[in-house]
Structure 1
Amino acid sequence: MGRFYFHLSAGDELTSDDEGMDLPDLSAAKREAMLTARELLVEAIKSGKQTVPEAFVIADDEGRALDTISLAAVLPAPFNK
């Protein structure tokens, strides 16, 4: 079990996740990032937002970036180009 942080990347800005989440491994953290990305996109569409963050940067307790999950990656194939 480890603590993972899901920072939001938008251009040159990084919005830090100060709380993080305890998850079994990086694979579980990636799944969580993808689920949260879908929810974020749904809310953006419902509210008519024209911009959304580009990606989640998954980091560990020591602040090391472990992986990046693009929000576009969770879109159906015709839209993720």
Structure 2
Amino acid sequence: MKNSKWHFFLLLVTVLLLQFSIFNHVGIGGFANPYIYLIFLLLLPIDVNGIFLLLSAFGLGFVMDVFSNSQGLHTTASLVLAFCR
């Protein structure tokens, strides 16, 4: 079970590094950016505790907001995704 937690932590770090280093600089049509950080929330196991899922979504969205200067947009999107999941 510990390997599973480390696996998802490494996945989170990898996705965030890819998002900040590559995908924030890719423009689709000149105005849209692909955001792959939501993949982390979708790949979490279905039996994950709901509180842990919502806290992870909040933390992930908050980190994206801080580095993207988007004033809560990523936090809202990741929390809605986690809640619907």
Give the TM-score range, shorter chain. Answer: 0.3 to 0.5
Q: Normalized per residue, which structure has more strand?
A: 1
**Which one has more relative contact order, counting CA pairs under 8 Å at least 6 apart?**
1
